[in-house]
Structure 1
Amino acid sequence: MTTVADSPHQSRPGAAPAAGMELVCPAGSLPALKAAVDNGADCVYLGFRDATNARNFAGLNFDEAAIETGIRYAHDRGRKVFVALNTYPQAAKAELWQRAVDRAAHSGVDAVILADPGMMAYAVKHQPQLRLHLSVQGSATNYEALDFYYQHFGIARAVLPRVLSMTQVAQVIEKTPVEIEVFGFGSLCVMVEGRCALSSYATGEAPNTNGVCSPPKAVRWVETPQGRESRLNGVLIDRYAPGENAGYPTLCKGRFDVGDEKNYYAIEEPTSLNTLSLLPDLMKIGVRAIKVEGRQRSPAYVAQVTKVLRAAIDSCQANPLHYKARTDWFSELDKVAEGQQHTLGAYHRPWK
């Protein structure tokens, strides 16, 4: 196989980093894309309406007309558009993913976000002008992994999984020429992304190939004398009391009976990552971009989160030594956070 390593890395487009920290926001729909751009996103990321992206929900994502309109809207305002092709091709359907790479290239996007090495090889060979980003689904948690993708495919950026401490992120940045993007707000994942098999246990479909943690066709809501129940392919995920907010059922965020402990979040508690207080540290260690999770969320969510993070990043870049996250910023983000609460996640691990 011919690889980028056979020629200078500078031949890959966009390899040289630009100044400042970018804000990368989700666009599950055209209204969400416009909300992100209008409220200060530097970049938006979106997906096609098929299994090539990890948010393959009915009613979300972009057809040909929408992506053309969205790219024009963003580019006219000086913003970038990334296409997430971040699931793994299935043996019998590899052409779907290859066509998606070609579609992205022909539409004029600024980068594609890929997880599968085979798709990177296809992109390098058939669409060499495309800037390549390594998806969080690629599960690269160390600089040796990033070096592999850089040497073979010339990736310009990598999105790190949400399991690394601040010290570990800094160590990765110190040893790689690849731009590093980290999640700054949104739902957490208990697994290293790209390695989860919980959904396939219950439904026979994995998010890494089908694009959703809980396929809508497997989700059922049932009213019972004990309360409203959510089930995934018949597996009881949670039971809610009258008036209690009910989240979309995923195995990792269900409540279960384990031993003597009854009805508690045995795997992961619903909460959102919020890095407002860590922005100076992330900026200092050289993080290139802050990413917001939530392509499945509403345009109102996108607008609110983008607006707050835009203000916070601008404030931090203007005066990092005296930056302080404002109380009203936290209040606004907690309104749209899972469980209306936030955490620093793995970033804050003092023993590391």
Structure 2
Amino acid sequence: MASISPPELVCPAGSLRALKLAVDAGADAVYLGLRNATNARNFAGLNFDDGSLREGVAYARARGRKVLLALNTYARANNPQAWHAAVDSAAAADVDALIVADIAMMAYARERHPQLRLHLSVQASATTAEAIDFYQRHYGIQRAVLPRVLTLSQVGQVLRQTGVEIEVFGFGSLCVMVEGRCALSSFATGQSPNNAGVCSPPSAVRWQDRDGAVEARLNGWLIDRYEPDEPRGYPTLCKGRFEVEGSTDYAIEEPTSLNTLAILPDLMRMGVRAIKIEGRQRSPAYVEQVTRVWRQAIDAAAAAPDRFRVEPSWTAALGHLAEGQQHTLGAYERPWQ
């Protein structure tokens, strides 16, 4: 089969350093957020102010790459101005697109900055062509990021039924895959991830030494207990170990990373416009290494899709970086229809 058009490789940037490494390693676009609650990765020490945002856009633009700004939480009723200001900052910095979930912010952006390209965030939970076309018709969105709940065939159905560009996640941490609809952390902390900007607010996380082991707690709730030689993940309720009917194990979701390298040619043949790498909260070194692997893989699949194979070196590199050092195809290979 002849070569096919490669999708954009969209990589995370939790800092200016990560942005530069992603661009240099081959990202077609980077996505980032501001240092406030408008951003669903609102961790201390990460993200961008207006000055670093402008510098990042200039760095990427000089190398022919794009910058996308994530405005992917929902505005608070008592202070929507912070979200309005984030839209204004995106427009002032001349980002290539705004990734947005809140329809009020879509309306504000379309009214105040009609030249600003809008992408529908995964936090909007749009899983059908009808839902995506609603956002396109009323708010002019030009790309939609699909939640990680669809099988491969369902992704294909969406692509056949909408003219909106489709972006899918290719690699990175998984949750219980109900983006935009999860209430687990609200139960434990009283803070919604759709408003507070993070699943497990750092202020609620505690690590406690007990009997030679380390306990991870979220607002007092025991999430996990790690022995001295066990790797420790960031404590989230969905990936905690709990006692259920006398057995202690991962009750909801096991720590693992999505890895779609094995189905990359299939996604490309379907017409997926962009592959997204998760991980704005991860280190610049992580971003650089994952970007390099995916750049090589996309280029190889585009040049010869029928001869594409996952190189052992790619698997080894991603395995070292995966959560729990495990890979999965997630919903793509699950039998539900």
TM bin (shorter chain): over 0.9
- Corresponding residue for residue 281 of structure 1: 266
The one-letter code matched in structure 1 to 2:260 is T
- Corresponding residue for residue 255 of structure 2: 270
The one-letter code matched in structure 1 to 2:300 is S
- Show CA shifts across 1:213-233 (max 9, x none): 111110000000161101000
- Corresponding residue for residue 244 of structure 2: 258
Whole-angstrom distance in 1 between the partners of 2:284 and 2:230: 24
Deviation at 1:161, TM superposition (A): 0.2
Please state whether the residue corresponding to 2:148 is helix, strand or coil: coil
Please state whether the residue corresponding to 1:163 is helix, strand or coil: coil
Contact 2:239–2:253 at 8 Å: present in 1 too?
yes
- Corresponding residue for residue 183 of structure 2: 197
Deviation at 1:351, TM superposition (A): 5.5
Give the alignment of 1:272-311 within 5 angstroms. 272-311=257-296
Give the alignment of 1:140-219 within 5 angstroms. 140-219=126-205
- Corresponding residue for residue 237 of structure 1: 223
| Unaligned runs of at least 5 residues, structure 2 | none
Contact 2:256–2:324 at 8 Å: present in 1 too?
yes
Query: Is residue 41 of structure 2 the alignment partner of residue 55 of structure 1?
Result: yes
Please state whether the residue corresponding to 2:179 is helix, strand or coil: coil
Query: Is residue 333 of structure 2 the alignment partner of residue 348 of structure 1?
Result: yes
Deviation at 1:296, TM superposition (A): 0.1
Deviation at 1:20, TM superposition (A): 3.1
Give the alignment of 1:26-175 within 5 angstroms. 26-175=12-161
- Corresponding residue for residue 9 of structure 1: none
Whole-angstrom distance in 2 between the partners of 1:253 and 1:226: 22
The one-letter code matched in structure 2 to 1:265 is Y
- Corresponding residue for residue 331 of structure 1: 316
Whole-angstrom distance in 2 between the partners of 1:341 and 1:313: 21
Whole-angstrom distance in 2 between the partners of 1:317 and 1:147: 28
Please state whether the residue corresponding to 1:103 is helix, strand or coil: helix
- Corresponding residue for residue 12 of structure 1: none
Structure 1 residues 168, 228: CA separation in 2 closer, same or farther (over 3 Å shift)? same
Please state whether the residue corresponding to 2:127 is helix, strand or coil: coil
Whole-angstrom distance in 1 between the partners of 2:150 and 2:251: 21
Deviation at 1:238, TM superposition (A): 0.4
**Number of residue pairs the alignment of both structures matches:** 333
Deviation at 1:212, TM superposition (A): 0.6
Deviation at 1:189, TM superposition (A): 1.7
Whole-angstrom distance in 2 between the partners of 1:154 and 1:234: 44
Deviation at 1:260, TM superposition (A): 2.2
- Show CA shifts across 1:98-125 (max 9, x none): 1100110011100000001111000110
Ranges of 4+ aligned residues in structure 1 off by more than 2 Å: 349-352
Whole-angstrom distance in 1 between the partners of 2:334 and 2:225: 32
Whole-angstrom distance in 2 between the partners of 1:166 and 1:26: 24
Whole-angstrom distance in 1 between the partners of 2:133 and 2:178: 19
Please state whether the residue corresponding to 1:57 is helix, strand or coil: coil
Please state whether the residue corresponding to 2:235 is helix, strand or coil: coil
Query: Is residue 300 of structure 2 the alignment partner of residue 315 of structure 1?
Result: yes
Whole-angstrom distance in 1 between the partners of 2:55 and 2:88: 18
Deviation at 1:328, TM superposition (A): 1.1
The one-letter code matched in structure 1 to 2:176 is V
Whole-angstrom distance in 2 between the partners of 1:184 and 1:298: 18
Deviation at 1:349, TM superposition (A): 2.5
Deviation at 1:254, TM superposition (A): 0.5
The one-letter code matched in structure 2 to 1:49 is R
Whole-angstrom distance in 2 between the partners of 1:59 and 1:296: 10
Deviation at 1:350, TM superposition (A): 4.4
| Unaligned runs of at least 5 residues, structure 1 | 1-18
The one-letter code matched in structure 2 to 1:187 is S
Contact 2:7–2:274 at 8 Å: present in 1 too?
yes
- Show CA shifts across 1:26-74 (max 9, x none): 0000010011000000000000000001000000000122111111100
- Corresponding residue for residue 16 of structure 1: none
Please state whether the residue corresponding to 1:301 is helix, strand or coil: helix
What's the Cα RMSD here?
A: 0.9
Whole-angstrom distance in 2 between the partners of 1:236 and 1:205: 17
